């Protein structure tokens, strides 16, 4: 196969590319330049795609003996991922930019461009497994449960999965690092990048404030009584406890958590931990990795990138999904994805719009 290996400059994508080469494919390495203003050096473990990262990817490609290019997708990334991220927060929701990037950039813009240029598949260092059957491709969790990234790949459809290639799904992260070492890849010792790739200093609140401005508003309790002030609803997400700075303690003396964010009134509602409990989830814009589910179905769902699966029943309609969880979970934020699993297999995903106790 002619494979385009997306190489971020990190150890996972480097080893993934290496395995694609070993598997006998005709591999070309591409670093995606996603930032409008790339830093020259990686500062710590946050952020990605600095010039140093491009350099690290280039050196890994040298060692693998494959051609290497840098593709500038910064305009599309800004429009589809960064702007969407800011808009979602402005609307009082909690976005997942990695999901949006997979959906719109890595397995869309990049994949489509690659196919037009003659490639058969895009290879990445994602921790997920693909099972290719006669008629379809199944997306499954990775063996390394702690690193499993099937959640952020849950938005992919069959066409996209058919042209995807995830060599690392059956390997533990620790083993990937030692493999990198054995292969002589300098990135073996490079720390993983955390958090959001386009917020290099990790200060999401600051990033959003720069774009959304200072928007003070009220913090209220479940009766609607004002209990404090906030500097901007984008600083908060459902389930959050930190940063509330409420002047007076709650009547029951226990900690309070963000229950809801109302962007129109710029109000944050807080309450006790048990008010966070969610049994029902409404979600829209479902995508299916293969067959759309029948109207009523039981399996598991995951509501956070690193959350555990929860047994649930899913009702499917054209507009969306209604999900009832068998056991309550806390801190489910509108805007996040709910990914539906059948055992280790990803069935589909949808965007959470509302929750019910």
- State the catalytic residues: 101, 197
Contacts of 156 (CB under 8 A, 6+ apart): 102, 103, 107, 139, 164, 287, 289
Distances (CA, A) of 319 to 178, 286, 322, 332, 353: 46, 8, 10, 20, 12
Q: Does 3 bind another protein (CB under 8 A)?
A: no
Q: How far is the CB of 333 from another protein (least distance, A)?
A: 30
Report the residue from 117, 170, 174, 284 that binds another protein according to the rule CB under 8 A: 117
In the DSSP assignment, the letter for residue 46 is B
- Edge-to-edge, what's the strand order for the sheet holding 68-72? 68-72, 26-33, 2-6, 121-123, 164-165
Report the residue from 38, 286, 331, 334 that binds another protein according to the rule CB under 8 A: 38
Q: Does 33 bind another protein (CB under 8 A)?
A: yes
Scanning 108-116, 212-220, 244-252, 333-341 for contacts with another protein by CB under 8 A, the matching segment is 108-116
Q: Which of positions 72-91 make contact with another protein (CB under 8 A)?
A: 72-73, 75-76
Element (H, E) at 348: strand 345-356
Report the residue from 31, 147, 190, 230 that binds another protein according to the rule CB under 8 A: 31
Q: How far is the CB of 25 from another protein (least distance, A)?
A: 14
Q: Does 206 bind another protein (CB under 8 A)?
A: no
Q: How far is the CB of 58 from another protein (least distance, A)?
A: 7
Scanning 50-58, 126-134, 222-230, 337-345 for contacts with another protein by CB under 8 A, the matching segment is 50-58
Using the structure block, give the residue that is written with the tokens 């609140």. Answer: 205
Structure tokens at 349: 């995903």
Q: Does 48 bind another protein (CB under 8 A)?
A: no
Q: How far is the CB of 301 from another protein (least distance, A)?
A: 32
The number of CA neighbours under 13 Å toward the Cβ of 283 is 28
Kindly tell me which of 71 and 315 has the beta carbon lying closer to another protein.
Answer: 71
Q: Does 47 bind another protein (CB under 8 A)?
A: no
Q: Does 51 bind another protein (CB under 8 A)?
A: yes
Bridge partners, residue 272, by sequence: 256
Q: How far is the CB of 70 from another protein (least distance, A)?
A: 4
x-or-dash string of contact with another protein, 54-73, rule CB under 8 A: x---x--------xxxxxxx
How far apart, in whole angstroms, are the C-alpha atoms of residue 4 and residue 108?
13
Kindly tell me which of 80 and 300 has the beta carbon lying closer to another protein.
Answer: 80
Scanning 51-59, 94-102, 123-131, 305-313 for contacts with another protein by CB under 8 A, the matching segment is 51-59
In the 3-class helix/strand/coil scheme, how is 166-212 assigned residue by residue?
CCCCCCCHHHHHHHHHHCCCHHHHCCCCECCCCCCCCCHHHHHHHHH
Scanning 28-36, 208-216, 228-236, 347-355 for contacts with another protein by CB under 8 A, the matching segment is 28-36
How far apart, in whole angstroms, are the C-alpha atoms of residue 302 and residue 309?
5
Kindly tell me which of 28 and 289 has the beta carbon lying closer to another protein.
Answer: 28
Kindly tell me which of 76 and 273 has the beta carbon lying closer to another protein.
Answer: 76
Structure tokens at 255: 């900690």
- DSSP secondary structure of 217-277: EEEE-TTS-EEEEES-GGG--TT--TT---SS--TT---EEEEEEETTTTEEEEEEGGGG-
Bridge partners, residue 30, by sequence: 6, 69
Scanning 25-33, 89-97, 131-139, 282-290 for contacts with another protein by CB under 8 A, the matching segment is 25-33
Bridge partners, residue 123, by sequence: 5, 165
Q: Does 109 bind another protein (CB under 8 A)?
A: yes
A 10 A CB-CB count for 317 gives 10
Compute the C-alpha angle 353/35/352, nearest 5°.
5
**What is the binding site for another protein (CB under 8 A)?**
28, 31, 33, 38, 51, 54, 58, 67-73, 75-76, 109, 112-113, 116-118
């Amino acid at each position: 196969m002619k494979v385009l290996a997306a190489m971020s400059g990190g150890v996972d994508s480097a080893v993934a590319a290496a395995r694609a080469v070993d598997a006998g494919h005709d591999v070309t390495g591409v670093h995606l330049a996603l930032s409008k203003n790339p830093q020259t050096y990686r500062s710590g473990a946050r952020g990605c795609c600095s010039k140093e990262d491009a350099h690290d990817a280039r050196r890994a490609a040298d060692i693998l003996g494959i051609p290497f290019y840098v593709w500038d997708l910064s305009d599309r990334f800004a429009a589809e991922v960064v702007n969407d991220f800011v808009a979602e927060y402005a609307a009082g929701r909690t976005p997942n930019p990695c999901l949006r990037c997979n959906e719109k950039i890595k397995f869309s813009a990049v994949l489509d461009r690659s196919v037009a240029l003659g490639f058969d598949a895009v290879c990445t260092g994602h921790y997920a497994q693909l099972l290719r059957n006669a008629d379809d491709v199944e997306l499954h969790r990775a063996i390394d449960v702690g690193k499993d990234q099937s959640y952020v790949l849950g938005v992919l459809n069959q066409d996209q999965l058919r042209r995807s290639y995830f060599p690392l799904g059956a390997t533990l992260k620790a083993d990937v690092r030692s493999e990198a070492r054995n292969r002589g890849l300098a990135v073996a010792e490079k720390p993983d990048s955390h958090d959001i790739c386009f917020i290099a200093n990790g200060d999401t609140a600051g990033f959003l404030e720069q774009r959304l401005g200072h928007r003070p508003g009220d913090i209220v309790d479940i009766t609607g009584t004002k209990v404090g002030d906030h500097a901007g609803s984008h600083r908060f997400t459902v389930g959050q406890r930190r940063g509330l700075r409420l002047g007076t303690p709650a009547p029951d003396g226990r900690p309070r958590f963000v229950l809801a964010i109302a962007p129109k009134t710029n109000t944050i509602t807080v309450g006790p931990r048990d008010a966070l409990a969610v049994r029902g989830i409404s979600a829209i814009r479902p995508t299916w990795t293969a067959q759309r589910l029948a109207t009523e179905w039981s399996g598991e769902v995951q509501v956070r990138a690193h959350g555990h699966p929860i047994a649930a029943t899913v009702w499917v309609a054209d507009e969306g999904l209604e999900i009832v969880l068998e056991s309550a979970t806390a801190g489910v934020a509108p805007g996040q994805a709910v990914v539906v699993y059948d055992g280790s297999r990803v069935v589909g995903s949808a965007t959470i719009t509302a929750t019910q106790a």
